[in-house]
Structures are given as structure tokens and as C-alpha cells.
Structure 1
């Protein structure tokens, strides 16, 4: 019985050891996990997907390190995927998870409040900014006013346009509070440096929403 648990523990240790000393491997694995969740055509991308309890406390979100990446590698549960986000101008394409669970944020973006609805109020998402600006929420550093943001819950497409991009302090939580107008708010660290205190805040207004067509699905 001990042997049964010893082997996975050794594998996790070895993977962690490799990741500690080789950042590009870690970034590559994160990109691969993201891609796997996007290519999985589980239209289990489902607004009603709430199979397990999620964390919505930013204080409980851990920095990305070898241990969290190693753990996420062995977590193949995609029951928490509730949508997808695409920003074509910066080649950002990610799954959206319900909440801010650490394993999920290694693979995509997370909703910041329970019961958020695409196309209604303030749809706030958070994501990690890695040393590789091309993965997770790193591409937000290249977003500019006027860029289009597309969200999908598997049945509808929501098109937003970026109206504001600013640097904020991590304590400026007013940007993720409820709004009357339908907007999307994207938050990430301003760099991939450990202990970064500033945040990139991208805000977009809803342009239109419609039933997701086969042609629309090519976006995602």
C-alpha cells in the first residue's frame, strides 16, 4: 500500500525539481494545459456547471511555482470550466473557470464573484501574469483601447470592446464591484515578478450578444 503512494510522490518530486531549475519547461507545461482545456469540445463549457465549491478569495490565491504546476498537471478535472475568453488582437485564448481555485488558474482565467453572468453587470476575471507574456493573462500587457474581447458560455457569444486600460494598486477593488451597465473587467499583475504590487486593469463595454454559431466557434 505504501509503495502505491510512494511512486506518485516520487514522480511529483522529480517534476517539481525540474521545474524549479527550468522556467521555460514550466511555461510550456502551462501553455499545454491551457490548450488541452480549450481543445476539449466539452460543451460542458456550461453556465450551470457548479459541481464543486470554488474559492472567490483573492488572498487564498497562491503564486505560481513548481509545486502548483506539478499538482495541476495531475488534475484533469474540467468540471469547473464555465466558458472561454478570446482577445484576437493579442492572441489570447483561455478557458474560464468558476472561481479562483489555484489548480484552475494555472490553466486559465477565473471568475472573481459567485453567480457572475456574461453580458450582465460586471463580469470580472482574474488571471496570472507569468514571465512569458504569451501565456495566461500575460497578453493583457499588450491590449489597447478598442480591442475586442469575446466571451462564450457554450451557447451564446458576448462581444465587448476595450474602453480603458490602467495600472492600479492591488488594493483598488472598486474595479471589480457590481455595475449597472454590462462590462467585462480583467485583472492581472503588471509583471511576472514575484511580489508584484501593481495590477493591470482592462475594462470593456458590451457591444452585442448573440447565439453562438458554428462560424463563431472558430474563434474559440
Structure 2
């Protein structure tokens, strides 16, 4: 009498273990999707109630930037109002709207675009921003992989809005730091990783207009 019952218990155990394995596998397969959703939520929270800060220090070493992590995505949700937010970048043609933050801290990049030099200014020289690549066409700098030359890029410090026109797209190795060189004319440089993270996508634009900022 005991043997059939034991076999039934074994079959049930195997079934439960199989379901658990499938769930764990599904979570691993969809991890990037969930990260993108949280990152998008973080960005919207900051831009919808944007509060500019006057940061006195930041991290500008691109080599210290780590892959987007759950720790950064979740920790930053407790300090939205403490982030060194200095502006906003909008590219309507590719549905990109992100806060601009001072420096390349990993928590900054879990929310938006980070400035690559301490002294850079909107509308002057080479205004360089870095952001995480994501598989989502709506999260962080993921949409940059669909941008085309001629696309308009807008950055604002909530006093003025600086309109740049995309002039060049380039894929370069990580060693090409000359893309950050200062320029005489007012330009913008946007940097993110390629799909396999072995190279960098560089988006270059030139300033075409500066107008007073108008809140929506």
C-alpha cells in the first residue's frame, strides 16, 4: 500500500520542482525587461517633478561605470530629490526624455544621462553626455540606436533650451576618447554602448538655436 503513495509523492515533487525551475528560468530571461521598466519609471519620476541641484562634486571617470544593476535601480528610488539633477535632455523623434545629472555615478546613470566633464556647459564647447544602453527602445539611452542624422536634440537647464541638430553617427572602440575633445563651436556628444558592449555609439550634433525655456 505504501509504494503507490510514495510514487505519487515523487511525481508531485518532480512537478513542483519543474514549475520552480521554469519560473526561475523565466525570471532570468526577462531580467533585462524588468530592469528597463524600472529604469523608465525612475526617469519619469525625476523629469515629472524635476528639481535642479547645485552639485559641488561628482565622479567623471568613465572607467568606473558599471553595468546597470538592481542595487542602483532600487537604491536611487529612495533619493530622487537628492540627485545632482542639472537639466533635461529630450529627443522627440525617438521618444527620449531623461534628466541630466552631474557626473557619471552609477546611481546617476540608473536614472538618466550623466555629464562627462566637471566644467562643461550647455550651449558652449563640446557638451558630452553618457548613458546606459538598454534593449528597450524607451529606456535610458537605448533609443539612441534608432536616431538618424538631422534629428533634433534639446537640452535645457530650465532657464534656456539649447537645440542641436544631429550631424554624425559613429561606432568607435572604447579607446577613442578624442570624441570628448573640446570644440570651438557649440556641439553635443552623446555616448552609449553598442548591443554587445564592446564598442561605443557616438552621436554628434551642432547647436542651431538657443531659446528661453518654456515649461509644459
TM-score (norm: length of structure 2):
0.83
Q: What RMSD over aligned residues (CA atoms) do the two structures have, in Å?
A: 1.8
Offset of residue 27 of structure 1: 1.5
What runs of 5+ residues in structure 1 fail to find an aligned partner? 1-16
CA distance in 2, matches of 1:85, 1:96: 6
**In the aligned structure 2, how far is the partner of 1:70 from the partner of 1:41?**
19
Aligned counterpart, 2:208: 207
Aligned to 2:55: 50
Note if 1:178 corresponds to 2:187: no
2:101 maps to 1:136: no
1:98 aligned residue (90, 95, 102): 102
Could you say what secondary structure the match of 2:63 adopts?
helix
User: What is the Cα deviation at residue 212 of structure 1?
Assistant: 1.3
Most deviating of 66-75 and 143-152: 66-75
Structure (1/2) with the larger helix percentage: 2
Distance change >3 Å, CA 104–CA 41, structure 1 → 2: closer
Structure of larger gyration radius = 2
Q: Deviations over 1:92-138 (max 9, x none)?
A: 00000000011010000000000210000000000000122321001
Alignment counterpart, residue 45 of structure 2, candidates 32, 36, 39: 36
Question: What's the CA shift for 1:139?
Answer: 0.6
After TM superposition, give the deviation of residue 72 of structure 1 in Å. 2.4
Displacement of 1:40 in angstroms is 0.5
Instruction: Decide whether the 8 Å contact of 1:75 with 1:103 is kept in 2.
Output: no
Q: Give, in whole Å, the separation in 2 of the partners of 1:121 and 1:154.
A: 19
**Which residue of structure 2 lines up, in the alignment, with residue 153 of structure 1?**
157
The alignment status of 1:198 with 2:176, answered yes or no, reads no
Structure 2 residue aligned with 1:14: none
Give the whole-Å Cα distance in 2 for the aligned partners of 1:91 and 1:148: 12
Q: Aligned ranges for residues 59-70 of structure 1 at < 5 Å?
A: 59-70=63-74
TM-score (norm 1): 0.81
Unaligned runs of 5+ in 2: 1-23
Q: Secondary structure of 1:31's match?
A: helix
Quick one: which of 164, 168, 189 aligns to 1:164?
A: 168
Q: Is the 8 A contact 2:141 2:192 kept in 1?
A: yes
Q: Which residue of 1 aligns with 2:20?
A: none
Q: What is the rounded CA distance, in whole Å, between the counterparts of 1:94 and 1:104 in structure 2?
A: 11
